[in-house]
């Protein structure tokens, strides 16, 4: 079996597994390791949107039944997450006794833009409506035209309740703006993605040893003392995000016509630093680092491995590089040995010190998005327009 055939086989297994997320009422379940639903979990915005995006990729690959998930997700976004009174999209919708959360987060809203853009590329009839609505919300509330970056969080009625600024929402904002440019051709989206990438990769990373601090003040100064939610806003730096940002830098550079700006060198610097800092002696990538690049939270999750695979595969497409090829093979072998569930499909989200799947931070298999892209990005020849590239694999 060729490498591409193995990657596409894993992608198909993931799509088959996560089809079971769809409920009879049109919502989505979080799935346990065996594919049965986990009760009492509110439906979160990033879960809904990532399923739409991922099944748009499955649809592009020609896999059957993907439109059911896309249709359900688009309906749920418009009729349940969307706040018809105040505008915007609630972080989570209550269900089965689990309370919802009406907070308006940039992190969630940019995933709505990603879902709308991917659904638009897939030809969904409601994609233009969702796309127009989310763009208006982002323009009005989240996009800061002075700094050319995204603000982070508001209450349901758009009252600011913090001055926190973060890289994570902006990184996924760059991802969504690039997808929006690919879907519409509107240059403003490409320019916004470029502004975000220029700030973090062009300004912040070189002055911090090619590491990317996660947290900032309202005037976009690094906040080294911030420590929030240990999963979503941990202190220090998150090497998995360096891999993501490197891949997005290459995608933006490709869409911009591959100008002579040094973008591939910056992407390589991010990847090399993250690998040197975070690859554990027994394999896997530690979750967080302190300001000096020393491991802080040593837990090993699936998504940094997937993002390292995507970033290294993207760099490898620029020309033969034995070191990159060795890293890509090493990462994929580690994933196959520890994260990929070959019997049932999907990836286990975390492993213990012995390399065995464990449920501590995550319950079940909460997400397809990272692992699916780790299969499809290496399989396509290009650095951008992933949906178009996936269509070419059919």
Would you call 370 a catalytic residue per the annotation? Answer: yes
What's the CA gap between 363 and 281, in Å, rounded?
A: 26
What's the CA gap between 127 and 387, in Å, rounded?
A: 15
Torsion of CA 381, 385, 390, 392, to 10 degrees: -70
Q: Which helix (H) or strand (E) is 18 found in, with range?
A: helix 3-18
What's the CA gap between 226 and 371, in Å, rounded?
A: 29
What's the CA gap between 280 and 285, in Å, rounded?
A: 6
Annotated active-site residue in 46, 124, 215, 241: 241
Closest CA to 385 of 117, 6, 39: 117
What's the CA gap between 275 and 200, in Å, rounded?
A: 18
What's the CA gap between 205 and 269, in Å, rounded?
A: 9
Helix, strand, or coil (residue 295) = strand
Q: What are phi and psi of 295, to 5 degrees?
A: -55, 135
**What are the Cα distances from residue 296, in Å, to 42, 129, 230?**
30, 44, 11
What's the CA gap between 197 and 204, in Å, rounded?
A: 10
Asked if 114 and 147 count as a contact pair (C-beta separation under 8 A), the reply is no
Would you call 252 a catalytic residue per the annotation? Answer: no
For residue 285, what are the β-bridge partners?
279
Asked if 143 and 150 count as a contact pair (C-beta separation under 8 A), the reply is yes
Q: Tell me the Cα Rg of the chain.
A: 19
Torsion of CA 55, 60, 61, 64, to 10 degrees: 60
Annotated active-site residue in 53, 252, 338, 370: 370
Give the active site residues: 241, 370
């Amino acid at each position: 079996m060729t490498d591409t055939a193995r990657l596409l086989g894993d992608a198909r297994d993931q799509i088959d597994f996560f089809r079971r997320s769809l409920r009879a009422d049109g919502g989505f379940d979080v799935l346990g390791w065996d594919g049965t639903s986990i009760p009492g979990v509110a439906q979160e915005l990033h879960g809904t949107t990532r399923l739409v995006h991922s099944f748009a990729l499955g649809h592009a690959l020609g896999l059957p039944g993907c439109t059911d998930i896309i249709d359900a997700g688009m309906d749920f976004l418009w009729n349940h997450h969307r706040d018809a009174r105040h505008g915007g999209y609630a972080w989570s919708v209550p269900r089965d006794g689990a309370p919802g959360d009406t907070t308006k987060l940039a992190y969630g809203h940019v995933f709505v833009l990603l879902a709308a853009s991917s659904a638009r590329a897939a030809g969904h009839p409601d994609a233009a409506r969702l796309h127009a609505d989310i763009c208006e919300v982002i323009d009005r509330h989240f996009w800061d035209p002075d700094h050319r970056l995204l603000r982070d969080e508001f209450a349901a009625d758009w009252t600011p309740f913090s001055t926190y600024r973060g890289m994570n929402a902006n990184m996924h904002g760059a991802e969504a703006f690039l997808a929006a440019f690919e879907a519409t051709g509107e240059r403003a989206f490409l320019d916004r993605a470029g502004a975000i990438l220029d700030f973090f990769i062009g300004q912040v990373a070189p002055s911090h040893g090619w590491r990317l601090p996660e947290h900032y003040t309202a005037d976009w100064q690094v906040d080294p003392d911030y420590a929030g939610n240990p999963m979503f806003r941990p202190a220090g730096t998150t090497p998995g995000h360096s891999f993501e940002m490197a891949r997005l830098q290459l995608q933006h550079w490709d869409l911009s016509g591959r100008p002579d700006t040094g973008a591939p060198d910056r992407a390589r610097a991010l990847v090399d630093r993250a690998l040197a800092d975070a690859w554990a002696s027994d394999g896997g990538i530690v979750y967080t680092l302190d300001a000096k690049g020393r491991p802080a939270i040593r837990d090993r999750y699936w998504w940094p491995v997937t993002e390292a695979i995507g970033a290294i595969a993207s760099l490898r497409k620029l020309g033969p590089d034995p070191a990159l090829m060795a890293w890509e093979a090493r990462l994929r072998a580690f994933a196959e040995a520890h994260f990929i569930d070959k019997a049932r499909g999907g990836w286990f989200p975390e492993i213990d010190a012995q390399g065995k799947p464990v449920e501590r931070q995550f319950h079940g298999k909460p997400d397809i998005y990272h692992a699916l892209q780790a299969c499809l990005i290496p399989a396509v020849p290009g650095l951008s327009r992933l949906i178009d590239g996936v269509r070419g694999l059919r």
